[in-house]
Chains A and B, each alone.
Chain A
Amino acid sequence: MLGRDFLRNLVNRLFITACLLATVAAITALVFILWSLVVQGIGGIDLDVFTKDTPPPGSEGGLLNAMVGSLMMCAMAMAIAIIVGILAGTWLAEYGGHTRYGAVVRFLNDVLLSAPSILVGLFVYELLVRPFEGFSGYAGAVALAFLATPIVTRTTEDILNLQSHALREAGIALGTPKWLVTRKIIWRAAGAGLLTGGLLGFARISGETAPLLFTALNNQFFSADMTKPMASLPAVIFQFALSAYDDWRRLAWAGALIIAVVVLSINIIVRFIAREKKHA
């Protein structure tokens, strides 16, 4: 009797210890990453980073062209992703989700959701870069849109499914056509959730490198022309971090820190929105 209790206790403790160790390992890794990011990156952050373009090795410079490029491509990608994703997610939740075609669409979306981003880059390369004989900001934006759209679609469907039947029925019971109920009542009720989906999509693409290398490539100079190759933070970090020049590597760390801060802030904002929603 005593033996069995003892064994059970032992297993219990071993299990708890294992869980604890795993948690500690994960947190340690995260803290270490953030810590080295801050330590290595903070030194490189000054006004020049935000006001000057990427320099040739050995001279003064910043990340302005990369940040502008990233912003432009991400903004365009999100515009596409939000329009397509919200419409597709709405269709899945409100209209065709229960049909066979709906199931196929949902499955394909899930596949896209977990597709390796380098594949998306290659696909857009074949789609937009080769035929037009040139890397371009547009191609970069489209590649990023391919990554963000499934996230927006998925969160939209999930959030709309959370809205109560009673609210839909109340709208319908007033004689409102269904599309108006969706647009004016359900979308509004789900507003915070839809915003969350958009932010998560943005956080996902803001650090993507692989798809941009095949599409927007990079640009050493400032360019706001989306038909031309375009610089982006991740691509510049990739190039500079692997270089042999100290000043380039310093800029790479600074860029990495900027992306990390942006992504972290977005995640905190999302948390905040979710909390607000629960309290309301």
Chain B
Amino acid sequence: MIDLADTATPAAAIMNEPPYDELVLEARNVDFFYGKNQALFGVDLPVRRNAITALIGPSGCGKSTLLRVLNRIYALYPGQRAVGRVVLDGEDVLHEQRRLPWLRKRVSMVMETQTGADPIEEEQVLRVGTDLARLRARVGMVFQKPTPFPMSIYDNIAFGVRIYHRKSKAEMDEIVETALRRAALWDEVKDKLHSPGLGLSGGQQQRLCVARGIAVEPEVLLLDEPASALDPISTAKLEETLVELKKDFTVVIVTHNLQQAARIADYTGFMFLGRMIEFGPTNDLFLQPKSDKTRDYVTGRFG
């Protein structure tokens, strides 16, 4: 058995038939640093469109860190830094400065043609102006603890939509309803849309956060242990929701619950001590793991 953590040059991850067709998002050789502490070592993660990709691994192995790289939420904190490439639809999003000329071109094109461009794009570029915010609108995130905004259920969902689009009342009503239906929450809240989101139960709050995340139509939805604070029934509902969402979105989920990964994920990555040890179709990873570490973990021998 080789101990990957101790080798000076990390062995490449075992990539079982990675889904290289149809990738929407891809991390390539990503190192991550919390100040001087390195938390990720050359991590690769291919994310296939319209699939659920799960990340598993023992506590502290860097699953949350990897998610936080994918939508660059870490950039809020000075001192945190990522090296490598994160490619979203063919664009490297880790190095925004390279994209500035692209953005300028886009703006001037919109200005010149007036009508030539899709009006939503125009709004996005002009109103928000920073491509970091735009990136985050394309890669949504749901956190471990539900985080409803201090406003009504309706406004929780409308909030994100309003930032990028001007909608009529009727259109917004429809967007809110669709998002709540997709998150399997509509029936429970349709009569109290204007009461505070904080008044819902924990499980409902979490589904509200999912609804809020998908209302802005991101390409990828990242979820960090979304079910860890939920009871089994809420968890089952959330899982159903995710499988349903797969038709329109791409989902990356961090979970400590191996059964959950086995149930819903199409692809699974196993991480250990900041490295991607093995990645592949969920069945292969659970039934025929190529790495001893993976086998020990999925059979419950450590972690």
Contacts and interface: CB of A to CB of B under 8 A. Distances in A.
A173 B140 contact: yes
Interface in B145-173: 145, 147, 149-151, 159-160, 163-164
A217 to B, nearest CB: 45
B226 to A, nearest CB: 12
Contact of A174 (B76, B78, B129, B160): B160
A115 B303 CA distance: 57
Given A167-B149, A170-B147, A185-B150, A175 B216 contact: yes
Contacts, number: 71
Contacts of A167: 147, 149
B147 A174 contact: no
A185 B149 contact: yes
Interface in A128-181: 164, 166-177, 180
Contacts of B145: 166
Contact of B76 (A168, A175, A189): A168
A280 B198 contact: yes
Contacts of B151: 188
B105 interface: no
B204 to A, nearest CB: 16
B5 interface: no
Given A174-B213, A189-B150, A169 B143 contact: yes
Interface stretch (B93-101, B130-138, B232-240, B270-278): B130-138
Decide if the interface of chain A is mainly helix, strand, loop or mixed. Answer: helix
A46 to B, nearest CB: 46
Nearest to A173: B141
B71 interface: yes
B48 interface: no
B133 A166 contact: no
Contacts of A184: 149, 159
Given A170-B147, A175-B128, 14 more contacts: A168-B76, A169-B141, A170-B149, A170-B209, A172-B73, A172-B76, A172-B136, A173-B141, A173-B213, A174-B163, A175-B136, A175-B164, A176-B159, A176-B163
15 contacts: A164-B147, A166-B143, A166-B145, A166-B147, A170-B147, A170-B209, A172-B136, A174-B140, A175-B164, A176-B133, A176-B160, A177-B130, A185-B150, A188-B149, A189-B150
